[in-house]
Amino acid sequence: MKKSTRGWALSIFWMGTVVLTLNGCGNNNSNPAAPAPVTVVVFGTPTPTGVEGQDWFFTTLNAAFSARNSHTSLVYNNKMWVIGGFAGLNKKNDVYYSTDGATWTQATSAAAFSGRGGHTSLVYNNKMWVIGGNDGSNKNDVYYSTDGVTWTQATGAAAFSARNSHTSLVYNNKMWVIGGNDVGGYKNDVYYSTDGVTWTPAIASAAFGARNVHTSLVYNNQMWVIGGNDAPSEKNDVWESP
């Protein structure tokens, strides 16, 4: 849709992008002395509607944080957070947050934990937590923060072996670490903690095979482990535990 008057023009391009063009603040556009048009681009306004799970609309194509993978994200204090990851060969320990997905603010460029990917993060006891990962070597350290800026080490050497590509979740008022990959290979052990310092083994060898890059979640008052890789194969099995 495009509408022009003596003082302004409005152009709307759908798919989540609104482009507003202001011409001359009320001056006649034929007047060469009129100020140049100003174009404002607003992403995600108005919020598009579509079929649940089928229609996806970009919020931003170039967020403030660098392009990356193997990072983590969570929701805390009414904000979305992006934590660490691999940006090419660079291992990141920066932390960003957003309330709309379009504008991202850097909480810190260098958190107390080392730059890493393949870690996990979760929210527990009104804190954000970062657990393990790989910074060039596997880690079993645990950090927490209440603001994304200051990160405190709960332990530098948890009872579970140093690892990456594990999963973590919160269940029954405990933090849990499940499986992953350490220097000895793939794991199917399960640990839990109520403070991030002391980690107790629930089982050294769970019924699901040793694996990494799986997912885990809480549903219907059970913990679930889904898929992953147990070398040499990808998995599509599903396991549950109370």
Question: What is the number of H-type helices and E-type strands within the chain?
Answer: 0, 19
Residue 51 falls inside a structural domain:
no
74: Cβ–Cβ under 8 A, 6 or more apart, which residues? 80, 81, 83, 121, 122, 123, 128
Residues 21 and 89 in one domain: no
End-to-end CA gap in the chain:
55
Residue 56 falls inside a structural domain:
no
Count CB-CB contacts under 10 A for residue 74. Answer: 16
Residues 35 and 82 in one domain: no
The SS3 assignment for 118 reads coil
User: Residue 17 sits in which domain range?
Assistant: 2-43
137, 150, 140, 76: which is closest to 110 by C-alpha? Answer: 150
Residue 62 falls inside a structural domain:
no
Cis peptide before 232 (omega within 30 of 0): yes
pLDDT surpassing 90 at residue 8: no
Highest-confidence range of 34-38, 47-51, 54-58, 175-179, by mean pLDDT? 175-179
Query: Count of domains in the chain?
Result: 2
pLDDT of residue 146: 98
pLDDT band at 232 (very low <50, low <70, confident <90, very high): confident
**Across residues 87-114, what is the average pLDDT?**
98
Task: Specify burial of residue 28 (Cβ count, 10 A radius: 0-12, 13-18, 19+).
Answer: exposed
Lowest-pLDDT range of 45-49, 84-88, 112-116: 45-49
pLDDT of residue 50: 87
Residue 12 falls inside a structural domain:
yes
Which CATH number goes with the domain that contains 98? 2.120.10.80
Q: In sequence order, what E strands does 32-104 have?
A: 38-43, 72-76, 79-87, 90-98
**Across residues 52-63, what is the average pLDDT?**
93
Residue 141 falls inside a structural domain:
yes
Residues 227 and 157 in one domain: yes
Residues 90 and 207 in one domain: yes
Per the CB < 8 A criterion, the answer to whether 84 and 112 are in contact is no
Cα radius of gyration rounded to whole Å, the chain: 23
Residue-wise pLDDT for 173-227, tens only, equals: 999 999 999 999 999 999 999 999 999 999 999 999 999 999 999 999 999 999 9
pLDDT surpassing 60 at residue 68: yes
How far from 58 is each of 46, 54, 62, 73, 164, CA to CA, in Å? Answer: 12, 13, 10, 18, 30
Residues 101 and 32 in one domain: no
Share of the chain above pLDDT 70, in %: 80
Residues 99 and 157 in one domain: yes
pLDDT surpassing 80 at residue 235: yes
Residue 181 falls inside a structural domain:
yes
Residues 19 and 79 in one domain: no
Residues 39 and 82 in one domain: no
- Selected residue with higher pLDDT from 73 and 50: 73
57: Cβ–Cβ under 8 A, 6 or more apart, which residues? 15, 16, 44, 48, 50
Residue-wise pLDDT for 76-95, tens only, equals: 999 999 999 999 999 999 99
Residues 124 and 10 in one domain: no
pLDDT of residue 26: 43
Residues 80 and 38 in one domain: no
186, 143, 136: which is closest to 161 by C-alpha? Answer: 186
Residues 14 and 126 in one domain: no
Residues 212 and 130 in one domain: yes
Per the CB < 8 A criterion, the answer to whether 209 and 235 are in contact is yes
Structure tokens at 180: 């992953």
Residue 157 falls inside a structural domain:
yes
How many whole angstroms separate alpha carbon 185 and alpha carbon 107? 35
Residue 197 falls inside a structural domain:
yes
